[in-house]
Structure 1
Amino acid sequence: MAPTPKSEFLRIIMERGFLADCTDLTALDEALIEGPVTAYIGYDATAASLHVGHLLNIMLLRWFQKTGNRPITLMGGGTTKVGDPSFRSDERPLLGPEQIQSNIDGMQKVFAQYLDYGDGKAMMLNNAEWLDGLNYLDFLRDIGRHFSVNRMLSFESVKSRLDREQSLSFLEFNYMILQAYDFLEQHRRYDCRLQMGGSDQWGNIVNGVDLTRRVLDREVWGLTTPLLTTSDGRKMGKSQGGAIWLNGEMLSAYEFWQFWRNTTDADVGRFLKLYTELPVDECDRLGALSGSEINEAKVRLANEVTTLLHGADAAASAEATAREVFEQGGAGGDLEVVTIGADTLPLSIVQLLAQTGITGSGKEAKRLIAEGGLRLNNDAVGDPQIQVDAGMIGDGLKISVGKKKHRMLRIG
């Protein structure tokens, strides 16, 4: 197909960096032009909140709706009872029905911030609706016969587990069949013609496309987004203190804002395109800034992303608090600035604390970390081997020792 698709949805997601693969981009483009199209992304209820790693695909659903299509958020009330084995080294712990429902309740709060569920514009479904009542023998006869075990074993998500000689239970092996069945059922019930997800779900998505075509002889498609890492190679959504949760009860709006404010310089333009609705030209302009100007681009990023999730007032409050803490030291005082030469980096956090005199010795630094008394940019530090490099320091790294001692580390 032409480099620039004709449909608004595909044009937007391609220029903003959302697209990894599609089973038939030309046919999907034509269907979107005729539109509207219904598409879904599935979310298993394995935690009480979604995290930043989910935000890319939530934004994908938001763009899908904003371009006149109907998104479905599919809660995995049924599949969570099995557990997705994709690219895992061990089996997920099995959750009871009460915990699964509690997790779904927490996840639904996040989706309501990004999608409009009024008047059938978006739909929220639970695959327990059709999975819980399945007759096993009927399911094997009607659905299982369409799956080749040889082909299932060839998918990278399964093959990588077996190649490492790690156990894969029969329960987990069934997961890809159940996910494929989800697509089939949603096509039957709601004319859903597109499944989207992260690129780690490619095999599962292709299974659903193939099953729907085999059983119903209908043309449907699959589309994936790239698996994101930060420019320094870290998995998107992880910090020193753990997952960046999207529920305000699990992570404050201020901490969420800080996560985005601390984005590495090289990631600012890319993240603006993916996680905000600013025009692409503006994202490119902000991402190209350097020196002290890139800091204001990071503030813009933090404000835009926080506004989408927590609201404009929460974003403004977080920015005001951050400026007080970082620029004025909080409580009317100034943060003491500590400098370190770029040529001495990288250093472990223990070496850095001792070398800069923030702690009296490496031994004291290790004790501080072990007792949970050290924070970097308000994230708790639990690993004394964490490496601090110039990219991590950026325009300034706030080091908190206990509750009252704060230092701003800069390269000088």
Structure 2
Amino acid sequence: MRNGRRLAGGVAAALLMVTSLIGAAPSAASAAVTPTLTAAVTAKLLGTAELSAADVQPETRITVSRTSGRWAFGTAVALAPRQEDAHPTGSIFIARSEPAGWRIAFDGEAAFGALAAESPLMTSQEKGVLTTTPTPMYAGGDYRTGMALPFGVGQTWTLTSGPHGWGGTESPYSSVDLAGGDQVVRAARAGAAYTMCQGWIRVIHDRGYSTDYYHLWNSISVNGASVGQGAVLGNTGTDVTCGGAAYGRHVHFGLRQNSAYVPIAGHDIGKWVLANGAAAYQGGARHGSAWAGAGGGLYNYGALGFNQGVVDANGGGVLTRRAGPGTGYGSLGSVADGATVTISCSANGTSHTGRYGTTALWNRLSDGSWVSDAYLSTGVNGPINGWC
């Protein structure tokens, strides 16, 4: 995707698109969907840090998809011109009418979870992810996501563009472009799925994360549907209904946390650790010691478990398994570079230096053997399953 930070062109306007929830009483809908609601949601959207800095305010599309009494729920999208260096942004909102006016929160905000817990509009499945307390940004040093790559496990797709911004060259580099295989785009992790606009799906996951999928052809139409990891969301495409530009079919895959796009580098997705390059669209991903840059192939190994690690022998070869936490213990064999291991607990032992630094931490594996944490990629700089 070649989109950029600046939103230019178009006349500032609020385009109200209202889709009543099936079965909702007309009186409830008319009470909740009002010009003041549209204006309040629009003002909050345009007041976000990114859009408030724009030279020209973009057109907006406020879609109220559910209402009940004083409650309303929907999506708020800032459209962009269909050109390079432009991109749409948006949020899912929940609103409640109060004496002082509308109380509105966007997905990822702490207030969003509080309102979702009270709202009669939310299903029990949605509340399971929408009421999750926001975690520290980048999970406080925990880069585990529990996500697979957004296509079928066992397939190899091309990383057509390395880490770059949701809109192109701006920071943070939250996104990558992928294409190939059967061209079927799938949810990276289970969650609640929402249509932001044609060709753009957002899935809200646990742990404060959400993922965006743009440029899709045949994208599903969803309003909070519960989807499992691997659920079909659409096909790679070049759809730019909400703005931007796309050359050659692909999925523009973006990572968000707590209502904002976050750096995708360092996060483990599909047992690959993403890494930035010298500039936007460069960089690549690493699985063990294997490296795939932009234009290379990524095999989808599936999600890395929260108590697992990938062996990175820092140059290939094998990693020796020991009878205890240190090189003074006898060898129990080896495990290959790139292999997935399950960790039971951790302890300190002899120090070693791997790709990411020096550590004395050792991990006891599920088979009872021990390996140095210096040669494992777990997404955490420390124990991931407690101390032994």
TM-score by length of 1: 0.29
Higher strand share: 2
**Which entry has the higher C-alpha Rg, 1 or 2?**
1
Higher helix share: 1
